[in-house]
Amino acid sequence: MSCQAGVIESSGWSRRRQLRGRTLGPRAKPARPHPSVFAPCAAAGCVLPSFWGSDPIDPLHATQYGSEHVHSMPRRSRVLAVVNQKGGVGKTTTAVNLAASFAASERATLLIDMDPQANASAAYGVRDVDRHVYDALIGECVMKDATLPTDLSHLHLVPAGTDLVGAEVELVSAPDRERRLERALADVRDLYDLTLIDCPPSLGLLTLNALTAADGVIIPLQCEYYALEGLARLLETMDLVRSGLNPDVSLEAIVLTMVDRRNNLARQVEAEVREHFGARVMDTRIPRNVRLSEAPSHGKPILLYDIHSKGSVAYLALAEEMLGRPGFAEDRLTPPPLVSEPPGPATPEGIDHDDTP
Ligand SMILES: Nc1ncnc2c1ncn2[C@@H]1O[C@H](COP(=O)(O)OP(=O)(O)OP(=O)(O)O)[C@@H](O)[C@H]1O
Ligand SMILES: [Mg+2]
C-alpha cells in the first residue's frame, strides 16, 4: 500500500468512524477540516508498512504490532531501542532521561550508547574511556567489561567512542553483522530489568543491530510537518526486521517530544498520530524545556540536574506510565557488581536552580 493520504482516509479513518459508530453511537468523528499532515509522506513516495493505516484499537492489529505477544509473556528483562532516523528529535534526551527515571524507580537499568556521536555517554560525563560498545561488538571484550556504573545506583552505562564511526563499514563483511549487539548482550541482558539503546540518526547497521537485539522500539517524535515522512520509513524497516532477523520486535511506544501545545501544527500532528497509533502513543508529552538541553553539559540526567523542572517531571511521568503497563518490568533486580568507579560525584550542590523559561 502506498503512503497516500487518500488511502489512509479511505481505510483507517472510515473504518474508525464505523467502529466508533458501533461503540460510541452519535460521537462519530466529523470529516477532517484540514489537509492531512500525512501528505508529505505521499509527496516523498513512501511505501507504508502493512499496519500503517490500521485501526490501533483493532485487536487483530494489536497482534500485528507484536504488543499482545510481548505483554502476555512477562519476561524478566526488556530491551528497548530508541530509534528515529531523523536527527535531533530527542532520541538521546529520551534514552538518557527515561533510563534515569527507570533507575529512580529502582529498576536495574542498562543504557547502551550505539551512536558514534556518543551524546548519551557525554550526558553522563563519560568521555574517552578504554572500552566501549564497539569493543563488545567486535568481540574484543565482553559487554560487562565495557559497562560503567553511573551516579544512579540502579543505572549502568555502556558508552560509545569514536571507533564506533568505523563499525558500520568494518562490520559490513562480517558474519552475522546484524546480530553483533544481540550476541554481546546475551550474557548481561537478564541481569537488568530494562535495557535502553540510544540509536544514531540513520537506519544503518548500528540501528539494525539495535532492532535485532530489541524486544521493543520507542520512537521519539517531534510534532512537525515532516515528522511522519521518516516514521513511515522506520516502520517499514521494522517490518523487514520482523520478517527475518527478529520476529518479536514490537512498537512499544511513540513519545511526543519538544511539545509546544501553543503551536497549532503541533496539535494537528499530535491528533493525527494519536488517531493512527492509538494506545502506542504515550499520554505523557515531553515539553520543550531549556533545562533538558542544559543538563548534558553538566554530565547529568535531568533528575540530578533539576528534578523540579518540567522536563524532569515529564520523563518521570513517562517512566511511570510505561511501568504501569501490565507485564512491563514488574521485577526489581539489583544491578550486577562492576569493577569500575562512577565517572564523578553527583552532589546536590551541583544542581542549578535558575528559573525555567
Ligand atoms: N524536550 C526538550 N526541550 C528542549 N530541548 C530539547 C528537548 N529534547 C531535546 N532537546 C535538545 O534538542 C537537541 C536534540 O536532542 P537529542 O540530542 O536528544 O536528539 P537526537 O534525536 O538524539 O539527535 P541525533 O539524531 O543527532 O542523535 C539537543 O540539543 C537537546 O538538548
Ligand atoms: Mg542522539
How many Å is the maximal CA-CA distance in the chain? 64
Pocket test for ligand 1, best of 92, 260, 290 (most atoms within 8 A of CB): 92
| Site residues for ligand 1, CB cut-off 6 Å | 87-93, 115, 117, 119, 201, 257-258, 286, 288-289, 292-293, 311
Using DSSP bridges, classify how beta strands 216-222 and 78-82 pair: parallel, antiparallel or unpaired: parallel
Domain map (residue ranges) of the chain:
72-342
The pLDDT value recorded for residue 90 is 97
CA distance between the termini of the chain: 45
The pLDDT value recorded for residue 340 is 61
State the DSSP string of 294-312: HGGGGT--HHHH-TTSHHH
CA of 292 to the centre of ligand 1 (A): 8
Question: In this structure, which residue's CA is closest to atom 15 in ligand 1?
Answer: 90
| Grid coordinates given for 226 | 515532516
Is 39 within 8 Å of 229 (Cβ atoms)? no
The pLDDT value recorded for residue 341 is 53
The pLDDT value recorded for residue 40 is 40
Question: In this structure, which residue's CA is closest to atom 6 in ligand 1?
Answer: 293
Q: What is the CATH number of domain 72-342?
A: 3.40.50.300
CA of 94 to the centre of ligand 2 (A): 9
Atom of ligand 1 nearest to the CA of 293: 31
The pLDDT value recorded for residue 180 is 96
How far is 333 from 350, CA to CA, in rounded Å? 29
- Tens of each residue's pLDDT in the chain, 357 residues: 333 333 223 333 333 333 333 333 333 333 333 344 444 444 444 333 433 323 332 322 333 344 434 344 444 689 999 999 999 999 999 999 999 999 999 999 999 999 999 999 999 999 989 899 999 999 999 999 999 999 999 999 999 998 898 888 888 888 899 999 999 999 999 999 999 999 999 999 999 999 999 999 999 999 888 888 888 889 999 999 999 999 999 999 999 999 998 889 999 999 999 999 999 999 999 999 999 999 999 999 999 999 999 999 999 999 999 999 987 887 788 888 887 654 544 444 434 434 334
